[in-house]
């Protein structure tokens, strides 16, 4: 960790890269350089550093984890990889079922608040963007580790620089016999990320696959289930000069779900989802401080499922945005997006954001934006003994508002405070009248989420980095009288995180995180994680502890999470000449 502050450039929530301190939106950046990466196991552990991001996991190491931002449901967060969509239109439960190995990630950018003007459907609560950067040296890294609950892990990263291209090949493999019956898992992710700067500009190519079979006891109700998901992803970004870029991607996701693991004949569902996406983006400098961004994008989704049937839908959209910045004191962005689907049905999503520096140390920002989410295929068509969808569901609508203050008394201190509100209509949830009834999908007429976010980040130079964050949230809904809701009622009312990281010389890296959370209607609980490693050299031993206090907790009602766990191992690094 350098003692000097480094300017962070973000690409999420903006139409072109800008310094983080100039963003008019609430964006959190979680860096993951080679010193930090050894003390993390999976991409979702990075997201737990922000208390406005709620992860409702059904197991460790990215096993069926729902994600929400600022109290949204699991379908209302958009997940990207280098700006390319990874969301699953079969069900939002698979939005984090990505083929992104940890070794491919250089940082995670988290946009809080509506983002449909930029990204279209699903960006209601916010956006998570996993960012990969080209490697700088030729090297090979191999990480091997073991732990309790039969954990066995291998991580591999190969970086090559040849003929103007940089190539990174990364693979993660981890498995566990499970901390209880029917909670075993085997994960595999492999990715290739290629980067080239040519006469036209930057070319980025991503190829990735993943395979995840796992025991799913109690995941979807009181059933000893089993599931296996697979993902294939291919994406390309190409600059066409300084003012134009094109993106194209393809994603296939398969899901094999068995309701009773020991008796698959009772209920088994097989689904294959294919998604094609393309985008054209342009910018025009109207003046020194004024830029017009505009473009178009589209997608086509199709599913073949033994339960859901055969369905398809396409979307096309056009957008425009005017960005104005003056004297590094004022900023204003006005944008709008028109998205058309199902023939002539459409969604119009405008936004306006702005910021002002009241002094070199104090900045205010505010914004308002519209967002929407189309129902997933599961929302519309799914049926099993415990759940039933509805083909008559309407798209979710939301307006988000926020205002915030940022105080930077020095280069090493940043304090932030924000107040936000999201007003939704037609929110999609599942309801039932009694515990013996089945869950039925329906639209809520209105939902209002109001919250406060605060954070203090201090770079203590040789004493390390300290971050203290807290988010408070309240939801008001018009749930039908006498009915119980399945998802919107399980939100965090209070969520606080303290994280600390320090590098002692160049010999020892220490990282710890303590998070305390209270969900609506539940008692609060805390989770403490700790890790220590040798972050440099050819041989880098490390040890990671999770849930040190052995807390009994459930992030999803009925799904028990593991107690105290420990993983120890070594990373081997070799430079290639």
β-sheet bridge partners, residue 79: 128
Helices marked H in 98-252 = 116-119
pLDDT in tens, the chain (577 residues): 444 455 788 899 999 899 888 899 999 999 988 778 889 988 888 999 999 999 999 888 878 899 999 999 999 999 999 999 999 999 999 999 999 999 999 999 999 999 999 999 999 999 999 999 898 889 999 999 999 999 999 999 999 998 889 999 999 999 999 999 999 999 999 999 999 999 999 999 999 999 999 999 999 888 999 999 999 999 999 999 999 999 999 999 999 999 999 999 888 999 999 999 999 999 999 998 999 999 999 999 999 999 899 999 999 999 999 999 987 789 999 999 999 998 778 999 999 999 999 999 999 999 999 999 999 999 999 988 888 999 999 999 999 999 999 999 998 999 999 999 999 999 999 998 888 889 999 998 899 999 999 999 998 877 789 999 999 999 998 877 778 888 888 899 999 999 999 988 778 999 999 999 999 989 999 999 999 999 888 999 999 999 999 999 999 888 999 999 999 999 999 988 6
Q: How far apart are alpha carbons 247 and 514 in whole angstroms?
A: 39
Handedness of CA 112, 113, 119, 124 (dihedral sign): positive
Note the Cα 97 to chain centre separation in Å: 10
- Evaluate whether the domain defined by 9-575 bears CATH number 2.30.30.30: no
Q: How far apart are alpha carbons 402 and 506 in whole angstroms?
A: 41
Q: Where are the domains of the chain?
A: 9-575
Note the Cα 319 to chain centre separation in Å: 24
Q: What are phi and psi for residue 221, nearest 5 degrees?
A: 130, -170
β-sheet bridge partners, residue 135: none
Q: How far apart are alpha carbons 434 and 417 in whole angstroms?
A: 41
């Amino acid at each position: 960790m350098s003692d000097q502050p480094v300017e962070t450039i973000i690409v999420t929530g903006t139409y072109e890269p800008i310094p983080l301190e100039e963003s008019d939106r609430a964006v959190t950046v979680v860096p993951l350089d080679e010193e930090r990466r050894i003390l993390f196991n999976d991409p979702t552990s990075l997201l737990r550093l922000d208390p406005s991001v709620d992860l409702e996991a059904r197991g460790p190491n990215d096993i069926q984890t729902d994600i929400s931002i600022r109290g949204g449901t699991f379908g209302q967060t958009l997940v990207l990889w280098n700006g390319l969509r990874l969301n699953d239109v079969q069900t939002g439960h698979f939005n984090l079922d990505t083929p992104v190995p940890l070794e491919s990630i250089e940082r995670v950018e988290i946009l809080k608040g509506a983002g449909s003007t930029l990204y279209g459907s699903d960006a209601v609560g916010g956006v998570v963007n996993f960012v990969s950067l080209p490697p700088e040296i030729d090297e090979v890294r191999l990480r091997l580790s073991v732990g309790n609950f039969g954990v066995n892990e291998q991580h591999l990263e190969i970086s090559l620089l040849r003929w103007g291209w940089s190539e990174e090949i990364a693979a993660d493999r981890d498995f566990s016999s499970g901390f209880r019956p029917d909670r075993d898992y085997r994960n595999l992710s492999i990715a290739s990320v290629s980067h080239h700067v040519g006469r036209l500009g930057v070319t980025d190519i991503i190829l990735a696959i993943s395979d995840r079979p796992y025991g799913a006891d109690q995941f979807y109700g009181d059933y000893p289930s089993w599931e296996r998901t697979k993902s294939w992803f291919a994406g390309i970004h190409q600059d066409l000069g300084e003012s134009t870029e094109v993106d194209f991607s393809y994603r296939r996701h398969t899901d094999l779900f068995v309701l009773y693991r020991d008796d698959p004949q009772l209920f088994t569902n097989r689904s294959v989802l294919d998604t094609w996406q393309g985008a054209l983006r342009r910018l025009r400098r109207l003046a020194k401080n004024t830029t017009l961004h505009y473009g178009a994008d589209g997608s086509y989704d199709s599913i073949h499922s033994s339960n859901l049937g055969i369905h398809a839908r396409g979307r096309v959209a056009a957008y425009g945005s005017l960005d104005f910045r003056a004297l590094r004191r004022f900023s204003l962005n006005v944008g709008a997006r028109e998205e058309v689907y199902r023939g002539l049905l459409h969604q119009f999503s405008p936004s306006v954001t702005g910021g002002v520096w009241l002094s070199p140390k104090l900045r205010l920002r505010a914004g308002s934006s519209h967002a929407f989410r189309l129902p997933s295929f599961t929302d519309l068509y799914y049926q099993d003994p415990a759940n039933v969808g509805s083909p008559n569901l309407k798209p979710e609508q939301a307006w988000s508002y926020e205002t915030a203050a940022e105080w930077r008394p020095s280069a090493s201190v940043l304090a932030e405070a924000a107040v936000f509100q999201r007003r939704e209509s037609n929110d999609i949830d599942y309801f039932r009248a009694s515990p013996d009834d089945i869950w039925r999908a329906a639209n809520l007429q209105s939902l209002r989420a109001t919250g406060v976010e605060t954070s203090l980040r201090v770079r203590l130079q040789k004493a390390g980095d300290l971050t203290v964050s807290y988010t408070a949230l309240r939801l008001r809904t018009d749930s039908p009288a006498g009915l119980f809701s399945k998802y919107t009622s399980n939100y965090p009312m209070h969520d606080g995180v303290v994280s600390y990281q320090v590098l002692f010389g160049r010999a020892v890296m220490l990282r710890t995180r303590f998070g305390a959370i209270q969900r609506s209607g539940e008692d609060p609980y805390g989770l403490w994680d700790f890790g220590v490693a040798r972050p440099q050299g050819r041989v880098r031993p490390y040890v990671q502890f999770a849930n040190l206090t052995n807390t009994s907790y459930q992030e999803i009602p009925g799904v028990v999470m593991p107690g105290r766990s420990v993983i120890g191992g070594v990373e081997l690094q070799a430079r290639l000449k």
